[in-house]
Structure 1
Amino acid sequence: MIMALETDATERWRLDVSYRGTDFAGWAAQPGHRTVQGELELWLPRVLRVDHALGLVVAGRTDAGVHARGQVCHLDCAPGVITDDGASLLRRLARVLPSDVVVRAVRRAPAGFDARFSALQRGYAYRLSDAGVPVDPLHRDQVAIWPRELDLEAMNTAARSLLGLRDFAAFCKRRDGATTIRTLIELSGDRIDHGPLAGVIEFRVVADAFCHSMVRSLIGGLVRVGEGAREIDWVSTVARRGVRDSGIQVMPAAGLTLEQVSYPADDQLAARAVESRRLRTV
């Protein structure tokens, strides 16, 4: 991932992006695979008529099959490359991008903005259909299927024990040099009570940041509680151990959607970016 800093010779622009992740091998560009970053970085130089790559920095690198309504990224380019506050770029991208990815907004980024490091929170939704709840076929790619009935009250009770600042190593795939300490702000589920997804369980998962596979592993642990295979206090016990447990499964990507990335006020963006780069500790 390109991490170029904005300079006097460049302008930084924020892009808000949505995509259906079903046919993507995730966000991050990978040789030989179709990715969201790959599609955007293919078309941006063409529509802006520049002869060099325009690298994107993103708020969160979603995995293969994961969707997004509120993804945020930024790019740096020479002054004057993007004109009329991004309106022309937005129109041109709408004409050339494939139908499963949409740039919803282009705007000049305020001073100190970094799509990744300035973010305060990332919010995901995980949608899950348990036994006896049919999924609307028009939304089938956005809902995971579980064959057994789930006790949502038990799942929510277990979820509350995971909130706060802690090491989530038990729910993450480790990466060299990366910390697994996060602050989990919300983890709660309800059954959708109306519309085409009525009856589907929707979990809201909000944290300052997420490590690899964290959301799907958290839901996987709660599902084991919800189906009665584990006691309510099992997930908190696993969390305290701080190591992967064979009982924690990574749930299917189809149910996961990045809904929102939130940022502080403009005058706090740079300070937030500095704070986020520090290694987290409990």
Structure 2
Amino acid sequence: MLVLEYDGTRFCGWQSQPDGRSVQQAVEGAFSRLAGAPTRATAAGRTDAGVHAHAMPVTITMPERWSCAELQRAANALLPPDIAVRAVYPVQNGGNARRSALGRRYCYTVATTEEARSPFRNRRAWALARPLDLEAMQRCADLLPGLHDFRAFAAVGEPKPHYRCHVTEARWEHDDDGCARFTISADRFLHHMVRMLVGTMVDIGLGRRPEGDMARLIQLDHNGNTSPPAPAAGLAFMSAGYPAELVTGNGVSW
């Protein structure tokens, strides 16, 4: 299992696309060269265009001649500068970064001061540059833990068997660098779910919509009343957790 870090600014997302530069294509290209044969990479999460990852688990099958340390060094020599392999771990047969994951964590960053306009910061945050009512936003976040139907916070697309997600963590924090950060963990996430949650809570934090909207939206079976999704630049995949018996290296959560 690879643990990848990447800057999603110049990618069309994780998943391979016929007419775009994807993280999956770059990773499979590098590892196919090392394997001497086509390889397939499976990630714990399929990030959208512009979304980043700090520790994205990816499973890929490689010849046994490669040690973990050698594979990491060789891959980093071939990968583009906006992707890095942070670690490599052997996994048990049948281990799959996507299907075997017990949970995933995302973090969304909103820059609330004028420093948000800095070109060195706005690639990793929503450059809002306005103060937010974080207490109201946290009260909204307090409604999220537990098993809920998040249909109102899912992008319209191909119907899914169900829209239930079990959220285990949802919190807003304000950092000394003038950023508000939203961290959320769940067993699964719907397409655009985190960005739509953030977009709605930011509108509440700006006073654009009443705080009571959050409880009402969670009960809806459509996304017609949800705020637009927050910009992709502020979102980052942070980590995923796995059963202890799956990974034979040190640790099971990144």
Residue 235 of structure 1: aligned partner: 214
Letter in 1 for 2:194: V
Residue 46 of structure 1: aligned partner: 33
Residue 266 of structure 1: aligned partner: 245
Q: How much has 1:114 moved relative to structure 2?
A: 1.6
Residue 3 of structure 1: aligned partner: none
Out of 205, 217, 224, which is 1:245 matched to?
Answer: 224
The higher radius of gyration belongs to 1
Residues 164, 65 of structure 1: alpha-carbon distance in 2 compared, 3 angstrom cutoff: same
Structure 2 portions without partners, runs of 5+? 248-254
Query: Separation in 2 of the partners of 1:109 and 1:243?
Result: 40
Aligned length: 247
Of all paired residues, the percent bearing the same amino acid is 34
1:63 paired with 2:48, answer: yes
Residue 36 of structure 1: aligned partner: 23
Residue 159 of structure 2: aligned partner: 176
- 1:215-234 alignment runs, 5 A limit: 215-234=194-213
Structure 1 stretches of 4+ with a deviation exceeding 4 A read: none
Q: How much has 1:32 moved relative to structure 2?
A: 1.8
Q: Secondary structure at the match of 2:123?
A: helix
Query: Separation in 2 of the partners of 1:247 and 1:238?
Result: 7
User: What do the CA deviations read for 1:236-259 (whole angstroms, capped 9, x no partner)?
Assistant: 101101210344211100000111
- 1:104-115 alignment runs, 5 A limit: 104-115=86-97
User: What do the CA deviations read for 1:176-217 (whole angstroms, capped 9, x no partner)?
Assistant: 344311011111111112xxxx11111111111101000000
More displaced stretch, 243-252 vs 217-226: 243-252
- 1:48-127 alignment runs, 5 A limit: 48-50=35-37, 53-77=38-62, 81-127=63-109
Letter in 1 for 2:25: G
The alignment's TM-score, normalised by the length of structure 1, stands at: 0.82
Residue 169 of structure 2: aligned partner: 186
- 1:202-217 alignment runs, 5 A limit: 202-217=181-196
Structure 1 portions without partners, runs of 5+? 1-13, 269-282
Query: Separation in 2 of the partners of 1:230 and 1:66?
Result: 26
Query: Separation in 2 of the partners of 1:137 and 1:32?
Result: 27
More displaced stretch, 151-160 vs 127-136: 127-136
Out of 146, 150, 154, which is 2:132 matched to?
Answer: 150
User: What do the CA deviations read for 1:52-72 (whole angstroms, capped 9, x no partner)?
Assistant: x21111111000000001101
More displaced stretch, 152-161 vs 126-135: 126-135
